[in-house]
Structure 1
Amino acid sequence: MNMTVSLPEIMTLPIMQETEVLSGKKVLHKKEVEWVSVIEMPVENFVRENEFVLSTGIGLGESHEDLLHFVKDVYESGASALAFATGRHLFDIPEEVRFYAEQKQFVLFEINWEVRFSDVIHCCMDKINDSKEEDLKQSEETQQQLLEVVLQGGNLSDVARFVNRHLNTPVMIVDQKGKVKGKSGIDKDMLENWTIQPTEKESDIGMDQHPLRSRIEEISIKGTTGWRMKIQSGNMEQGELIVFCSETGEDMDFSLLEHAVTASALAFVKENAVKETEIRLKDDFILSLANGEYGSKDRLVSRGKLLGYNLALPYVCIIGKVDNLEELYQKNSKGFSSYEHWFESMIYYVSEEILYAGETVERKVMTTAQENQLTIFLEMEYSVNLEPVQQFLDLVERRISMLFPGIMVTWGIGKSDDGFYAFNENYEKALTALDIGSKQKGPGSRIDYDETKINRLLQSLSKDKEVKDITMDTLAPLLSYDENRQMDLIGTFTAYHQNSGNVSQTARQLNLHRQSLLYRLRKIESLTQLSLMNPDDVFLLDLTIKIYSLGLRDT
């Protein structure tokens, strides 16, 4: 809010009609008045910025040097203007004083002695108070207009357009991650070059004492100067309002910007509430698809249509599990009040990138997230070719890696023969593929259900009691030895078998001396009472290790 009036406005007051301007006429229109005071020698620290100073010049009429020193002190205090009442203590203003004031572009007035200072102060303060009341009224009207923009269905772009219309300067509103949510007057080049480069210190913008000034930070977008203000609701940061104007910020209307920040916060809250409701409805629907809890096909199609989903298409199910959540949180926790707050934000942006990837490959996508698991139903071709799925996941991983460097996701893919209305079947297949892929290939892998036939067979075998007993009897000595000696005999045998019993190749793979490897192989034989030269014994050992790793390791 403007807390001042201009000197030309002061000069229009009837009591100031006979006032003569002695210096500073060129800058008169730039000077603002916040207060009026009467000051005599000494000045010291009794004068502040934007003050209109009145003086009789008492004690200064006989010494031009003292008068010049007085004018200098008032000028250096930051006063807007100085008016001398001439005719009693001071009869005229010496030429050297006028020359100094003109050099400094400092406004000097001469007032007739007959004019009472109390009347001048009264008239000026009435003018200032009237201006404050008018500014307050305009501020309240602006606030109401901005709130109505949001409450009547407007979005962040509407808020940006309102600010642009009043300030005639480009405006952009971004969320926490810097994603543009609203803009007005922003050209294509500026949008493409959107990079924030904060200065090292807060900018001193203009002379306005509005409290918002301390929260404004200077930025640069490819050399274009702008000013950004944080948008918050409660204790949560929602984003930033950015305006582009002069490097001094003189054309800023702080009151308007404060109300724009408030309206933007309301728009973010409203947008988030709508989005959360939509997400919750979609999440519930997708989970019902995955769990097979959707009743008749007609009802399923009807519900899907209301949510913008076309279910008359074949879909493949993809399930992703984020394997390193804690590590990611430690790297990206800055600015978040808790793990839950960060996790919600992370899942939101990952989901956004999944939808973006779907648009890029021109396929319908349905996605939801539960804990650290992402469930995706991706529109599929009528053929069994899964190459588009791999391309889709390549794009998803590339995009989310840019947002969260180091993120590791394991994917399981499930698809029935035709894919039509087989959501639950595809989900169960993808879940099985994810489980097997995590155990067999480890974090960050991808596996299709059709690639897991032998592993599913082994998992099925692991549920048989006799198979379980044979497996544990065979491997118990190795497991116990590995636990006590940290030798990894099971890993040693697996590498040896994968290398077809070639000792040299296995030693190189395990980075072991040949004799050390031979010692381990003999230890395996002595503990299991099986011979690595006997094909049946080797088969038994290999089979039991695979069954254990796929079905019994975590039991």
Structure 2
Amino acid sequence: MFFYLQDFLTKKSPQKVRLLTAPQDFSTLVILSVSTQNIRELPIQDFVPAGSLILSAAMGEAEEEPLHRQFFKEASAAGAAAVFVKFKDTDYHLSAESVACADALGLPVFELPWDYRFADIQQEVLNCIQSARTRFTTDLQSSLLRLYFDAKTLQDAVDLVSRMLEVPCCITLPDGTVLAKSADYTQPQENEFSLDISLNDVTMGCFRCQDAGSIPEALLPELSQTLCFPLSLWFHRQSVVNLTKASLKNDFVWDLATQNYVSYDEMIYNGSLFKFDLQRPYTCLLCKAVSGPGSQPDLSVWQRDVIRLNLHETKIISELKSQLHLSIMFYSHFPNYIFYLENPDKGDSHIRRFIEKAEQYFFSDLTDLHLCWGISESGLSSGNFSELYNHASLALHYAVHSKTGQRIYTYEDTRQARIISLLSEDATLKSEAFDLMGQLSSYGDSSNIQLFETLVTYIDNNFNVSKTAKKLYIHRQSLLYRLSKIEELTGMSLKSSSDLFLLSVYARIFSGY
């Protein structure tokens, strides 16, 4: 990773480069940069990077001695690695007092021949620094690849990176869950260096290291390129395992729903391998992501969602299970989804909670789509998965094709819908419904008073005037006016139970439910 002062000295002729200060171990003295400074242009602290090799030229005059000592003090304060100075007067020698000053500061000082070109030295040092970094990043990447192909773990990879960078490291999931960390890694810190680990443009994890200040800043961009690919291989290997498991679970749930199996006892056994208990009662929920009227969904968003679901399905389902304290079986084939939700002992509030959480976890980024749900009855016994699926499919059909905006249908909702569907097959009855309801629907085109919507809301609220007015956000008198207008256009009385029955049937035939 580093270019050391000893490396530089070995490239120069020992007869021409003379050490003026006391000998040190230069094999551990890091050179991070090189700069040229003039002793007559003090101060220099703001112009000398830490770890810099300073090149300086002087006339070689006695009156410069105080300047040399001040120069050494400022170079040391800036964190310079060493100073190389040359004198125009080749017979001049740095005073013992100035040398002692540099020794006291621990700053190595060397003398170069006057004919040495600083530009050549600068270029050579910069090339050596870059070569050292390239060797380091190449060695680091090669070592990681060897670990991967030797089937080593992600923990082994973290230990290697931590050892080579000499800093505490860890690798986490995007949500911060730690997958592996070095022994000296503590709690996450705000000033950590972090690197996203991506696979197919999907962020799979994050590499983090502490004490990154000890890593040369110029190395950080190269470090990102060096680490991202080999570390992503571990995630790729795990994603292949996860995708294979998800595919097997998908196939299992689909076969269960469509009764595509020979022996149910064998399905019970296979389900136990996935930790599915088929001897519990379940409710089947079907979900379909559909585009709204006139919208043009971004298919790339759909594709990203498929990737996200496949890669994180286990985690998402696990979170839902822990929050709802229920067993869940799951199938996905975008844009269609099957969920078998375990029935608790009492009530069905868990179904609405599940739908709310599922939409939040699975579908929050599908802004161009809306979701339709079909819900079967609650299974009172085990083993009726195919029947539950068929009933949920019927409910989903009505949710997808609903003209009322209702996007969640239960199997119980379809009972009335099935009756209306049969009645709609009668051409005379259908014609009567469209004639009467068509008048109400078209009335709003010219007056902005939605009489058909008013009638449907009135029916849905059990013919209660107060509830209907509140639902429509209008005054009670305004509603009474609308109801009177409905009676006028249809020739039916809203006080007659038989007329109310016919209006309800006509409205549902007209709306497709």
Find the residue that maps to 1:468 and give its secondary structure: helix
Q: Percent identity?
A: 22
Q: When the two structures are superposed, what TM-score results if normalisation uses the length of structure 2? A: 0.72
Query: Are 1:544 and 2:503 counterparts?
Result: no
* Separation (CA, whole Å) in 1 of partners of 2:184 and 2:282: 40
Contact 1:319 1:411 in 2 (8 A): yes
Alignment correspondent of 1:174: 172
CA 72–157 in structure 1, closer or farther in 2 if over 3 Å, else same:
closer
1:431 aligns with 2:393: yes
- Structure 1 residues 460, 96: closer, same or farther in 2, change over 3 A? farther
Q: Provide structure 2 residue ranges, at least 5 long, that are not aligned to the other structure.
A: none
| Offset of residue 97 of structure 1 | 4.7
Q: Which moved more, 1:224-233 or 1:80-89?
A: 80-89
Give the aligned partner of residue 375 of structure 2: 413
Q: Secondary structure at the match of 1:261?
A: helix
Tell me how far 1:297 sits from its aligned partner. Answer: 3.7
Kept in 2: contact 1:231–1:238 (CA 8 A): yes
Instruction: Report how many aligned residue pairs link the two structures.
Output: 495
Distance in 2, matches of 1:188 and 1:324, equals 47
Paired position in structure 2 for 1:262 = 229
Please give the alpha-carbon distance, in whole angstroms, between the structure 1 residues aligned to 2:155 and 2:359.
Answer: 26
CA distance in 1, matches of 2:185, 2:8: 42
Work out the CA distance in 2 between the residues paired with 1:507 and 1:391.
Answer: 31
Q: Which residue of 2 aligns with 1:278?
A: 245
Q: Which residue of 2 aligns with 1:390?
A: 349
Distance 1:169 1:74 in 2: 29
Once the two structures are TM-superposed, the CA of residue 263 in structure 1 deviates from its matched residue by 1.7
Q: 1:353-384 CA deviation, whole Å, 9 max, x = no partner?
A: 23432355554432122334331123446xxx
C-alpha displacement at 1:242, in angstroms? 0.9
Change (3 A) 1:290 1:155: farther
Query: What is aligned with 1:22?
Result: 21
Distance 2:426 2:256 in 1: 32
| Cα contact 1:142–1:256 (8 A) shared by 2 | no
SS of equivalent residue, structure 2 residue 233: helix
Check conservation: 2:306, 2:334, Cα contact below 8 A.
no
In structure 1, what is the Cα distance between the partners aligned to 2:388 and 2:410? 11
Once residues 9 and 452 of structure 1 are traced to their aligned partners in structure 2, the CA distance between those partners, rounded to angstroms, is 84
Whole-angstrom distance in 1 between the partners of 2:237 and 2:466: 67
In the superposition, relative to structure 1, how do residues 97 and 27 fare at CA in structure 2: closer, same or farther (>3 Å)? farther
The answer to whether the 8 A contact 2:169-2:210 is kept is yes
Q: How many angstroms apart in 1 are the aligned matches of 2:464 and 2:135?
A: 89
Give the counterpart letter for 2:258 in structure 1: N
Change (3 A) 1:234 1:17: farther
Q: In the alignment, residue 93 of structure 1 is paired with which amino acid?
A: L
Give the conservation status (yes or no) of the 8 Å contact 1:170–1:244. Answer: yes
Q: Does residue 354 of the first structure (1) align with residue 317 of the second (2)?
A: yes
Q: Name the SS of the counterpart of 1:91 in structure 2.
A: coil
For structure 1, which runs of at least 5 residues remain unmatched after alignment? 191-220
User: Displacement of 1:184 after TM fit?
Assistant: 1.4
Structure 1 pair 279–8 and aligned structure 2 pair: CA distance change class (3 A): closer
Q: What SS class does the counterpart of residue 225 from structure 1 fall into?
A: coil
Query: 1:487 is paired with a residue of what secondary structure?
Result: coil
Query: Does 2:231 correspond to 1:231?
Result: no
- Aligned equivalents of 2:362 and 2:458: distance in 1? 41
Q: Distance in 2 between matches of 1:95 and 1:187?
A: 45
Matching residue's letter, 2:338: T
Q: State yes or no: 1:5 paired with 2:4.
A: yes
Work out the CA distance in 2 between the residues paired with 1:508 and 1:234. Answer: 51
How is 1:258-407 mapped onto 2 (pairs within 5 angstroms)?
259-297=226-264, 300=267, 304=271, 309-321=276-288, 338-345=300-307, 347-348=309-310, 349=312, 352-359=315-322, 361=324, 363-380=326-343, 385=345, 387=347, 390-391=349-350, 394=353, 397-398=356-357, 401=360
Q: Does 1:60 align with 2:60?
A: yes
Q: Distance in 2 between matches of 1:271 and 1:354?
A: 17
Q: TM-score, normalised by structure 1?
A: 0.68
Equivalent residue for 2:53, pick from 46, 51, 54: 51
Aligned 8 A contact 1:36 1:51 in 2: yes
The aligned residue for residue 241 of structure 1 is 207
The letter for the 2-side match of 1:107 is P
**Is the contact between residue 60 and residue 89 of structure 2 (CA under 8 Å) also seen in structure 1?**
no
Q: Is the 8 A contact 1:304 1:311 kept in 2?
A: yes
Mapping for residues 142-157 of structure 1, pairs under 5 Å: 142-157=140-155
CA contact (8 A) 1:503 1:514 kept: yes
DSSP 3-state at the match of 1:51: strand
CA distance in 2, matches of 1:187, 1:440: 62
